[in-house]
């Protein structure tokens, strides 16, 4: 497949850069000679001359805008935005506290919105740019005890899809949907006491089929595939990473197809012209 010109993706702005996918992405980008603006609440630990490390809370749009301005000033521009910052927890819907739900939505969804919303005028003016959003397999399907996390990632999916549609004249957009990567902070962020204390919610089985001969997803390989894909001229709308992610998303697609088959049998409109039908509704209103 044809590769994109290097100068079109030379400088990356990466959020959540102090750990997990973000940190490994910055590391590999620097090894490949890219410029990196690495941002997270805790200042990332990169000392290379082609790295600008900043402390940024993505839930604060002013901080995001300032970081973007500093990055443009330091490197002369920004080509790729990687919205990777995210947090998680394990709670059932019944046990989910609104304050915790709000915090997760603030980081995962509003943080992603803040970055994209802040950079779009710049990308539109320059008629080029690449936006990568970090979703999850849970953004397409779901898991038990994932109330806040799944909701936030479904919201990121919707935001990314709207962005993909609206910005096609000047921007490339791709959503990354990884499965379980134990080298990330997902493991350390999920405490055992987060699992339900209510008997009816204990030991819920996974809806999806078990993966045979499951191997642990490797973070280094996962990040390599992200960068390799961004280096292509044409991006897929979605990049699914991990055998578990592909398996679960396949199962969800089967479920949607089954529901669609049933729904298609239903008749919703009388046989009359759409315009005439709408005019009738407007007159009644």
User: Choosing from 34, 40, 91, 135, which is the catalytic residue?
Assistant: 135
DSSP secondary structure letters along 219-271:
HHHHHHHHHHHHTBSS--SEEEESHHHHHHHHHHHHHHHHHHHHHTT---S-S
How far CA 236 is from CA of 108, 161, 199, 239, in Å, comes to 22, 12, 43, 7
265 is known as an active-site residue: no
Sheet holding 11-15, edge to edge: 51-55, 35-40, 11-15, 80-83, 130-134, 172-178, 238-241
User: Choosing from 136, 153, 160, 248, which is the catalytic residue?
Assistant: 153
User: Choosing from 34, 110, 145, 149, which is the catalytic residue?
Assistant: 149
User: Choosing from 18, 40, 138, 160, which is the catalytic residue?
Assistant: 18
Rounded to whole angstroms, how far apart are CA atoms 143 and 194? Answer: 14
55 is known as an active-site residue: no
210 is known as an active-site residue: no
Residue 216 neighbours by CB under 8 Å, 6+ apart: 182
135 is known as an active-site residue: yes
Rounded to whole angstroms, how far apart are CA atoms 188 and 190? Answer: 6
**Active-site residue list:** 18, 135, 149, 153
């Amino acid at each position: 497949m044809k590769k994109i010109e290097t100068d079109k993706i030379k400088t990356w702005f990466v959020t959540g850069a102090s750990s997990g996918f973000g940190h490994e992405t910055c590391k590999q980008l620097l090894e490949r000679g890219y410029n990196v603006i690495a941002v997270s609440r805790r200042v990332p630990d990169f000392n290379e001359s082609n790295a600008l490390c900043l402390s940024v809370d993505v839930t604060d749009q002013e901080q995001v805008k300032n970081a973007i301005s500093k990055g443009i000033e330091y490197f002369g521009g920004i080509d790729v935005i990687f919205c990777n910052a995210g947090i998680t927890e394990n709670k059932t819907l019944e046990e989910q506290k609104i304050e915790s739900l709000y915090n997760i939505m603030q980081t995962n969804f509003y943080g992603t919105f803040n970055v994209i919303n802040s950079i779009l005028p710049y990308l539109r003016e320059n008629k080029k740019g690449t936006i990568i959003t970090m979703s999850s397999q849970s953004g397409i399907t779901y898991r038990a005890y994932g109330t806040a996390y799944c909701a936030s990632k479904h919201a990121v999916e919707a935001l990314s899809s709207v962005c993909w549609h609206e910005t096609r004249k000047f921007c490339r957009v791709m959503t990354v949907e990884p499965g379980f990567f134990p080298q990330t902070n997902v493991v350390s962020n999920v405490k055992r006491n987060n699992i339900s204390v209510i008997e009816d919610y204990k030991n819920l089985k996974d809806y999806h089929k078990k993966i045979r001969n499951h191997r642990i997803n490797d973070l280094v390989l996962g990040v390599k595939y992200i960068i390799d894909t961004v280096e292509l001229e044409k991006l897929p709308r979605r990049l699914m990473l991990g055998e578990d992610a592909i398996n679960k998303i396949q199962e969800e697609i089967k479920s949607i197809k089954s529901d669609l088959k049933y729904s298609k049998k239903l008749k919703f409109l009388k046989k009359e012209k759409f315009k005439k039908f709408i005019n009738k509704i407007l007159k009644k209103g």
